[in-house]
């Protein structure tokens, strides 16, 4: 298990093997096996990162959010003219967000309480309180409607 130079809150439960480095993880978080979290990523209190997920530099996840298995975040839109350099993009996930398994998250903002269906590819911002799904992900409905 590699956990290197991380700021870990209280009661963080980490299932090995993982690869976490220079990231900040809040209190009462769960980190499943086969997870990588890169430098300068931030996971808020009570959030859970399930197995096989990848959280890259530039990602901020709020409180009490649930990131299911095999979720891949990205921070590079391949828009650098030089393949050997890149422009780092940022992603913000709000509080109480649920992201389904095998989901791909481009650099976007996902609002509080929203739900991302399993297998989605999220290419645009998601407002709060929405359910989205598909490739590319589209809004299916607002919560409460």
- Judged by the rule CB under 8 A, the positions of this chain that interact with a second copy are 2, 15-17, 19, 32-34, 36, 51-52, 54, 56, 64, 66, 68-70, 72-74, 76, 78, 83-84, 96, 98, 100-104, 106, 115, 118-119, 121, 134-136
Rounded Cα distance between 94 and 65, Å, is 8
Residue closer to a second copy (CB basis): 8 or 121: 121
List, in order, residues 6 or more apart from 105 with CB less than 8 Å away. Answer: 71, 72, 73, 74, 91, 93, 99, 116, 122
What 3-state class would DSSP assign to 135? Answer: coil
Tell me how far, at minimum, the Cβ of 127 lies from a second copy, in Å. 17
Residue closer to a second copy (CB basis): 25 or 115: 115
Tell me how far, at minimum, the Cβ of 97 lies from a second copy, in Å. 9
Tell me how far, at minimum, the Cβ of 7 lies from a second copy, in Å. 21
- Compute CA distances 70 → 34, 73, 110, whole Å: 9, 10, 18
């Amino acid at each position: 298990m590699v956990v290197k130079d991380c700021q870990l809150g209280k009661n963080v439960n980490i299932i090995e093997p993982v690869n976490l480095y220079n990231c900040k993880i809040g209190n009462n978080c769960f980190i499943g096996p086969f997870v990588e979290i890169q430098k300068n990523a931030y996971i808020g209190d009570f959030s859970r990162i399930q197995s096989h997920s990848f959280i890259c530099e530039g990602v901020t996840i709020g409180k009490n959010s649930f990131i299911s298995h095999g979720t891949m975040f990205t921070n590079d839109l391949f828009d650098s003219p030089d393949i050997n350099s890149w422009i780092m993009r940022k992603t913000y996930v709000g509080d109480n967000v649920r992201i389904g398994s095998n989901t791909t998250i481009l650099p976007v903002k996902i609002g509080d309480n929203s739900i991302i269906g399993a297998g989605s590819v999220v290419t645009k911002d998601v407002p709060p309180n929405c359910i989205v799904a598909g490739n590319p992900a589209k809004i299916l409905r607002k919560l409460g409607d």
